[in-house]
């Protein structure tokens, strides 16, 4: 094949270089012109393995190549398409060397145009013709210089100088506009945080009394704790619970009460399990516990989204949280503002006097807020909406906040906090929230399912 023929062939192809993921280091050649769908579907031209690439949709994106340009579009994927670090919401031109990512944690590819003629084609066919004619003219014998031409060149250079100055002034104006836009975004963020704080204050005033500290209370002298004998009435904190039924029904995590049960089995003569109301210190006895069947096996893959228990108190309660309905649950998405009230207990030293809760007068909950980061299955995978029961939320949490309600600005509980990532800062086992603020919650429809099963079981028993 001649050099000219080879160049023409190269101008009709481009290369996809796979930078990460299951196809890392693969190379795929594509023809120009052409339309190339990207995804896990078998009908795509650029295919990823569905089992290895959970962030890639079946029909994720599309690259359209013509003789003039290359365009990438997102096809309504679940995790978005990112070009050179920027999420695209509409078709975008791409150039040789651009990096395309399928989901923020998905595989990346690099688009490479082959051959210099393709770069010229992106500018336009007419440009190639002009360049060719210019080359032919320059190959002609040199003619005698024309003074008028030299004057014209000077004028042209002066015009170019003025254009450069105008461009710099224009660019400076654009930078000023970018600074103004950035300042506007900062002001808007400050307002959002301020509004969130004010809404949180109102919600805390309304629902604080619906939150309870789950604790073992010393009922008999003679038990020796780590720091000596524990006095009668001493509270050993276990976690957080919250009321959803005025008859005296509370929800919490299964692991909160199973730990307390183990202590009761060993030292039942000294302790009783109680719920202490936030801000009032009123004590309620817990007379019944029901644990979600899925939470009885900690080795189960669904344990993290089954970690729910129901508590029944010895008397009615004055304040309750409403549970989110189906619309409130399906409306959850990254960026939704949420609040929580709970009892962080894993603090040491001087802070323990504020977060120890050893007596009813110290049972004062902590209110925090943050934003939902994502929703996944128990394994952290993308799945159908009804199975996205693990809510990832950006709230600083420690032990003791397990079982806390996660509620939206309308007060409806959408999830129950049950896990977090912590750091051992002192080397002595004293844990603090991870700087990344990783917390997890069980979506509240797990609780609703328990209540439905309980109602059905009661109906069967009555028959």
- 3 in Cβ contact with 94 (< 8 Å): no
- 247 and 343 part of one domain: yes
- 110 and 209 part of one domain: no
Q: Rounded distance, CA 449 to CA 302, Å?
A: 15
Report, as ranges of residue numbers, the positions in the chain whose pLDDT lies below 70.
1-11, 114-160, 162-163, 165-181, 184-197, 225-227, 346-353, 420-437, 463
- Domain for residue 13, yes or no? yes
CATH of the domain at 33: 2.60.200.20
Q: Domain tally for the chain? A: 2
Which pLDDT score, from 0 to 100, does residue 58 have? 92
Q: Rounded distance, CA 185 to CA 197, Å?
A: 18
- pLDDT per position as a tens digit, 54-77: 889 999 999 999 887 899 999 999
- 215 and 112 part of one domain: no
- 109 and 218 part of one domain: no
Which pLDDT score, from 0 to 100, does residue 132 have? 40
CATH of the domain at 389: 2.40.10.120
- Domain for residue 142, yes or no? no
Q: Rounded distance, CA 81 to CA 90, Å?
A: 10
What residues contact residue 109 under an 8 Å CB cut-off, 6+ apart?
A: 16, 17, 18, 19, 46, 99, 100
- Domain for residue 192, yes or no? no
- Domain for residue 288, yes or no? yes
Which pLDDT score, from 0 to 100, does residue 335 have? 85
Q: Which two structure tokens, joined as six digits, stand for 386? A: 């009804």
- Domain for residue 98, yes or no? yes
- 228 and 347 part of one domain: yes
Q: Rounded distance, CA 317 to CA 244, Å?
A: 9
Q: Rounded distance, CA 397 to CA 253, Å?
A: 15
Domain boundary among 84, 118, 152: 118
**In terms of residue numbers, what domain contains 100?**
3-118
Domain boundary among 76, 103, 118: 118
Burial class of residue 353, CB neighbours in 10 A (0-12, 13-18, 19+): exposed
- 227 and 101 part of one domain: no
Which pLDDT score, from 0 to 100, does residue 130 have? 33
Domain boundary among 66, 91, 118: 118
Pairing of strands 366-376, 70-74: unpaired
Buried b (16+ CB within 10 A) or exposed e, 87-103: ebeeebebeeebbbbbb
- Domain for residue 151, yes or no? no
- Domain for residue 195, yes or no? no
Q: Rounded distance, CA 236 to CA 323, Å?
A: 29
- 217 and 361 part of one domain: yes
- Domain for residue 104, yes or no? yes
- pLDDT per position as a tens digit, 137-158: 444 444 444 444 555 565 666 6
Which pLDDT score, from 0 to 100, does residue 196 have? 67
């Amino acid at each position: 094949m001649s050099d000219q023929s080879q160049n023409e062939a190269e101008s009709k192809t481009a290369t996809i270089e796979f930078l990460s993921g299951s196809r890392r280091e693969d190379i795929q050649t594509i023809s120009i012109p052409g339309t190339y769908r990207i995804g896990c579907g078998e009908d795509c031209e650029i295919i990823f393995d569905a089992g290895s690439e959970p962030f890639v949709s079946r029909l994720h994106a599309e690259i359209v190549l013509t003789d003039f340009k290359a365009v990438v579009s997102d096809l309504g994927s679940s995790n978005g398409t990112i070009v050179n670090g920027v999420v695209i919401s509409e078709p975008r031109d791409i150039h040789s060397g651009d990096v395309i990512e399928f989901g923020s944690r998905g595989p990346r590819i690099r688009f490479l145009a082959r051959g210099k003629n393709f770069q010229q084609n992106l500018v336009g066919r007419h440009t190639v013709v002009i360049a060719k004619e210019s080359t032919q003219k320059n190959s002609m014998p040199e003619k005698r210089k024309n003074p008028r031409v030299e004057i014209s060149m000077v004028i042209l250079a002066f015009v170019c100088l003025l254009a450069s100055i105008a461009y710099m002034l224009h660019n400076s104006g654009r930078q000023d506009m970018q600074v103004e836009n950035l300042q506007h975004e900062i002001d808007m963020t400050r307002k959002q945080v301020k509004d969130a704080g004010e809404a949180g204050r109102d919600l805390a005033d309304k629902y604080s009394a619906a939150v309870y500290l789950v604790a073992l209370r010393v009922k008999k002298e003679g038990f020796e704790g780590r720091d000596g004998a524990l006095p009668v009435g001493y509270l050993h904190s276990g976690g957080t619970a919250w009321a959803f039924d005025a008859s005296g029904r509370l929800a919490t995590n299964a692991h909160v009460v199973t730990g307390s049960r183990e202590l009761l089995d060993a030292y039942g003569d000294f302790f009783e399990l109680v719920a202490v109301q936030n801000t009032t210190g009123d004590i309620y006895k817990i007379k019944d516990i029901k644990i979600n069947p899925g939470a009885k096996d900690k080795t189960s893959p669904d344990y993290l989204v089954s970690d729910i228990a129901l508590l029944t108190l010895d008397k009615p309660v004055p304040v309750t949280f409403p549970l989110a309905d189906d619309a409130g649950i399906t409306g959850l998405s990254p960026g939704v503002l949420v609040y929580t009230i709970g009892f962080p207990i894993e603090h040491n030293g001087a802070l323990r006097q504020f977060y120890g809760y050893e007596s009813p007068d110290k049972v004062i909950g902590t209110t925090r807020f943050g934003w939902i980061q994502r929703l996944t299955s128990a394994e952290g995978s993308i799945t159908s909406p009804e199975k996205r029961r693990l809510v990832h939320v950006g709230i600083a949490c420690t032990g003791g906040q397990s079982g806390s309600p996660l509620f939206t600005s309308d007060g409806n509980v959408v999830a129950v906090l049950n896990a977090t990532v912590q750091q051992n800062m002192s080397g002595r086992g004293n844990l603090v929230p991870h700087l990344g603020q990783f917390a997890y919650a069980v979506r509240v429809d797990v609780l609703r399912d328990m209540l439905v099963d309980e109602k059905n079981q009661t109906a069967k028993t009555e028959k």
